[in-house]
């Protein structure tokens, strides 16, 4: 039975709602229930109908339909809509594309607009292809340009500054055309792990380049300032460089830019040069995306697709997303104008793997490919019909005369479908993410105070119990192993249906992506997973097949290839916990004979705490001691324990930024204000003292700048310590909803 306040949501969904979506007061206390959130969103989005002459009664009825659609978890809009609809900010879009022109004025206008967008909770995409290459002449000064990669650093730094303390992390997509003279430097830009941690990067691949790869020919590099050919490169050499870097750490991704523009719905308005951070939404400059996803796990009946329910949900979802465009408070006026001129929406899906399981169809089968085309083809057709019906009632989108639709069919929206990553949304909905396979059948989830909970896929648990092979011991072994292959007690037909991402061949991943892409206006966000033993040739084969099958882009991830290694099973975790050949276990630095530091006084709700921070002889942070003004007591002992653990972390070369992030904002019942800021706990006071000390310009732990923190949490979520999974072109923690994408 559903609770009046929780709607029967799973505990993990409630946890994510409380942390990321529900309203909080000035002290950080949750002051909104899930029911109130969905009511707030439904009411705000339904009110847009008043703009089109609907009565108050009509709007109230629509509000109930939207509320029911969301609370039943049949459909959820993108995160900014859930967070901000009906609230002061009112910014409802997930992502934006900004132009970066070849002038200082244009570049820094883009930086300013980026900061404004990130502050509002959105992510941004850019093409740097218009910037003149490094070493090219600068006319105003007769100097030389530093090139696109250099200017990307400015955007990365701005993102780092703005994202601190936000509810959603700033994220960027940086794209450069493969025929830009600086392409080699761009491909290798993320070789240094301290650079561009706020960027995904992708190469805009042209048809001409792909043909040159096939023919083993040279291709031309073109200066965007002069449009002159400046050099030629061997296409296969450049392609191999892209492939090898993607094999090495998953980047750069690739987008097939000519294919994207072949389906550009408004070619007379301009060419598409970039996408949003996860690559599924190609956009013109100053456009934004308004996304939502239908939960396919709710669209089955008696082992078949319930197409009648799916049709109703598609029509209501299109209506919902079109209304979002009208009530959205855009962060920049140009974005408001362009978005309303084209009215692009992106209706996608989640729970695809669940639907297949409920119908007994293996993900990696021809039946699954056929069903993908049938289901997405149906959604595409009905979304177009719903958009046409809205056009009859409200009018076509303003740029309709400049579009490919002019005279062919009415259209309220230039595009209607997108397959977006749904990492956090799928946690709320309790379903599988996007069009990805299961990331695990059983896994261990970390919760507060070191408690670990065994999470079991509910469909698998039911089948296991119904067919008599369930046991706690088996579930724990599966969580440790990560695959059902080696468990003789599990029937083969069950093994074939409950395949996980790493059970599926990369070629099968890309074939599924292509099946959905055939019936999607925009693009499909999906990760092609490779085992650690995969070769660069395996990656190359997937790229070539993706091009052959008309995909618009590809994101790959080879297990263990990144420093922030994704661990979803005990077996993989154990592999990385033990020292590998050439590696050693972490051994804390020994205390030197001489050490220097300072003591800071911090007022807390438990009394005054004195925090001493010391550096070693090289200026690297080394240790932290605490002393409570009130002797003894629980607060004093806990503060001492925190100090010892912080010292151990510093001596083990963990960056102070990471420690600060873990401690800052922890709350207790005794909070206080000091020096114009709130101290929420002793832990918070320690973090803020450490943060103030860092403002002096300390060298940290000696392992480089603060960006190194991205690499410290090997296999762990930086917010809850749980495991993170690469899916949908992003990285998501299924424990707390943390995502590296905006």
17 found inside a domain: yes
Rounded Cα distance between 561 and 564, Å, is 9
378 found inside a domain: yes
> b/e per residue, 306-344, with b = 16+ CB within 10 A?
eeeebbebbbbbbbbbbbbbbbbebbbeebbebbbbbbb
- Residue 169: Cβ-neighbour burial (10 angstroms; 0-12, 13-18, 19+): middle
Q: Tell me the pLDDT band of 631, cut-offs 50, 70 and 90.
A: very low
Number of structural domains (the chain) is 2
- Looking at every residue in the chain, the average pLDDT score rounds to 87
pLDDT over 90 for what percent of the chain? 63
Q: What is the pLDDT of residues 301-317, one digit of tens each?
A: 999 999 999 999 999 99
Q: Tell me the pLDDT band of 698, cut-offs 50, 70 and 90.
A: low
- Residue 392: Cβ-neighbour burial (10 angstroms; 0-12, 13-18, 19+): exposed
pLDDT score for 735 = 67
513 found inside a domain: no
Sheet holding 253-256, edge to edge: 288-289, 95-98, 123-127, 172-177, 199-205, 253-256, 553-558, 527-530
Element (H, E) at 538: helix 536-548
Q: Is the pLDDT of residue 46 over 90?
A: yes
**Which residue spans within 80-130 are E strands per DSSP?**
95-98, 123-127
Q: Is the pLDDT of residue 74 over 60?
A: yes
Whether the model pTM is above 0.75: yes
**Residue of 272, 321, 544 lying closest to 420 (CA atoms):** 321
The conformational region for residue 650 under phi > 0 = left, psi -120 to 50 = alpha, else beta, is alpha
pLDDT score for 1 = 43
pLDDT score for 574 = 45
Q: Is the pLDDT of residue 571 over 60?
A: no
Cα angle value 425/563/723 (rounded, 5°)? 35
| Residue scoring higher pLDDT (632 or 90) | 90
**Residue of 473, 444, 469 lying closest to 456 (CA atoms):** 444
**Which residue spans within 328-469 are E strands per DSSP?**
346-350, 442-446, 452-456
Q: Tell me the pLDDT band of 204, cut-offs 50, 70 and 90.
A: very high
* 474 three-class SS: helix
| Residue scoring higher pLDDT (600 or 173) | 173
Q: What is the pLDDT of residues 243-276, one digit of tens each?
A: 999 999 889 999 999 999 999 999 999 999 999 9
Rounded Cα distance between 697 and 160, Å, is 17
Q: Tell me the pLDDT band of 630, cut-offs 50, 70 and 90.
A: low
The conformational region for residue 234 under phi > 0 = left, psi -120 to 50 = alpha, else beta, is beta
311 found inside a domain: yes
Query: The domain containing residue 703 runs over which residues?
Result: 596-711
pLDDT score for 40 = 98
pLDDT score for 410 = 96
122 found inside a domain: no
> b/e per residue, 703-720, with b = 16+ CB within 10 A?
eeebbbbbbbbebbbbbb
pLDDT score for 251 = 92
Q: Is the C-alpha dihedral spanning 546, 548, 549, 551 positive or negative?
A: positive
Rounded Cα distance between 701 and 710, Å, is 14
Distances (CA, A) of 63 to 50, 254, 325, 639: 12, 41, 16, 50
148 found inside a domain: no
Query: Which residues participate in catalysis according to the annotation?
Result: 276, 278, 280
Q: With contact defined as beta carbons under 8 Å apart, do 729 and 280 qualify?
A: yes
pLDDT score for 326 = 98
Q: Is the pLDDT of residue 480 over 90?
A: no
Q: Tell me the pLDDT band of 449, cut-offs 50, 70 and 90.
A: very low
> b/e per residue, 18-46, with b = 16+ CB within 10 A?
ebbbbeeeeeeeeebbbbebbbbbbbbbb
356 found inside a domain: yes
Q: Is the pLDDT of residue 381 over 70?
A: yes
Q: 141: Cβ–Cβ under 8 A, 6 or more apart, which residues? A: none
622 found inside a domain: yes
- Residue 134: Cβ-neighbour burial (10 angstroms; 0-12, 13-18, 19+): middle
Q: Is the pLDDT of residue 340 over 80?
A: yes
252 prior amide bond cis, ω within 30 = yes
Q: Is the pLDDT of residue 469 over 90?
A: yes
**Residue of 542, 46, 506 lying closest to 253 (CA atoms):** 542
| Residue scoring higher pLDDT (296 or 423) | 296
């Amino acid at each position: 039975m559903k609770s009046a306040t929780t709607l029967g949501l799973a505990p993990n969904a409630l946890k994510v709602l409380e942390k990321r979506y529900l309203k909080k007061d000035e002290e950080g206390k949750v002051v909104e229930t899930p029911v109130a959130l969905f009511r707030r969103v439904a009411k705000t989005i339904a009110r847009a109908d008043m703009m089109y002459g609907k009565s108050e009664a009509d709007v109230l009825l629509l509000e109930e339909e939207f509320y029911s659609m969301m609370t039943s978890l049949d459909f959820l809009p993108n995160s900014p809509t859930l967070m901000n609809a009906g609230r002061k900010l009112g910014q409802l879009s997930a992502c934006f594309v900004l132009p970066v022109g070849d002038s200082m004025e244009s570049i820094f206008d883009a930086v300013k607009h980026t900061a404004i967008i990130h502050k509002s909770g959105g992510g941004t995409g850019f093409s740097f292809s218009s910037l003149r290459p490094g070493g090219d002449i600068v006319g105003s000064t007769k100097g030389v340009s530093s090139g696109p990669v250099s200017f990307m650093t400015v955007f990365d730094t701005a993102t780092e500054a703005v994202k601190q303390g936000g509810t959603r992390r700033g994220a960027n997509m940086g794209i450069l055309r493969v025929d830009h003279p600086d392409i080699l430097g761009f491909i290798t830009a993320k070789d240094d792990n301290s650079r561009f941690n706020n960027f995904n990067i992708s190469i805009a691949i042209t048809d001409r380049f792909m043909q040159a790869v096939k023919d083993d020919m040279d291709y031309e590099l073109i200066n965007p300032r002069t449009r002159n050919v400046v050099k030629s490169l061997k296409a296969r050499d450049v392609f191999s460089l892209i492939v090898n870097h993607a094999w090495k750490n998953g980047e750069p991704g690739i987008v097939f830019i000519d294919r994207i523009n072949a389906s550009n719905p408004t070619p007379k308005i301009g060419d598409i040069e970039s996408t949003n951070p996860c690559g599924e939404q190609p956009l013109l400059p100053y456009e934004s995306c308004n996304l939502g996803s239908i939960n396919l796990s709710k669209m089955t009946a008696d082992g078949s697709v319930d197409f009648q329910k799916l049709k109703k949900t598609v029509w209501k979802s299109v209506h919902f997303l079109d209304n979002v465009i009208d009530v959205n408070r855009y962060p920049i006026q140009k974005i408001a104008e362009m978005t309303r001129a084209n009215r692009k929406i992106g209706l996608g899906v989640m729970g695809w793997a669940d639907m297949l399981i409920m119908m007994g169809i293996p993900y990696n089968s021809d039946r699954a490919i056929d069903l993908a085309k049938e289901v997405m083809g149906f959604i595409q057709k009905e979304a177009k019909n719903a958009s046409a019906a809205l056009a009859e009632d409200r009018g076509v989108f303003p740029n309709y005369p400049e579009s490919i639709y002019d005279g062919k069919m009415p259209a309220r929206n230039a595009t209607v479908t997108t397959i977006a990553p749904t990492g956090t949304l799928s946690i709320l909905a309790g379903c599988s993410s996007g069009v990805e396979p299961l990331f695990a059948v059983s896994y261990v989830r970390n919760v507060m105070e070191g408690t670990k909970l065994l999470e079991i896929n509910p469909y698998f648990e039911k089948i296991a119990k119904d067919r008599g092979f369930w046991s706690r011991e088996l579930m724990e072994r599966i969580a440790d192993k990560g695959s059902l292959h080696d468990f003789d007690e599990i029937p083969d037909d069950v093994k074939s249906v409950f395949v996980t991402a790493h059970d599926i061949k990369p070629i099968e991943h890309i074939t599924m992506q292509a099946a959905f892409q055939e019936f999607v206006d925009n693009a499909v966000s999906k990760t092609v997973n490779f085992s650690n033993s995969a070769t660069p040739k395996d990656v190359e084969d997937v790229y070539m097949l993706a091009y052959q099958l008309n995909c618009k882009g590809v994101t790959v991830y080879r297990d263990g290839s990144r420093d922030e290694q994704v661990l979803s099973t005990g077996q993989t975790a154990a592999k990385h916990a033990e020292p590998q050949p050439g590696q050693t276990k972490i051994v804390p630095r020994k205390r030197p004979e001489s050490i220097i530091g300072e003591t800071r006084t911090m007022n807390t709700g438990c009394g005054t705490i004195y925090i001493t921070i010391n550096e070693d002889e090289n200026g690297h942070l080394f240790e932290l001691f605490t002393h409570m003004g009130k002797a003894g007591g629980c607060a004093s002992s806990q503060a001492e324990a925190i100090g010892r653990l912080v010292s151990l972390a510093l001596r083990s070369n963990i960056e102070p930024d990471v420690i600060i992030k873990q401690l800052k904002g922890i709350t207790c019942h005794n909070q206080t204000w000091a020096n114009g800021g709130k101290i929420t706990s002793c832990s918070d006071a320690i973090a803020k003292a450490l943060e103030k000390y860092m403002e002096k310009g300390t060298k940290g732990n000696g392992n480089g700048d603060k960006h190194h923190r991205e690499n410290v949490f090997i296999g762990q979520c930086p917010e809850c310590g749980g495991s993170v999974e690469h899916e949908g072109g992003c990285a998501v923690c299924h424990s707390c909803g943390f995502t590296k994408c905006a």
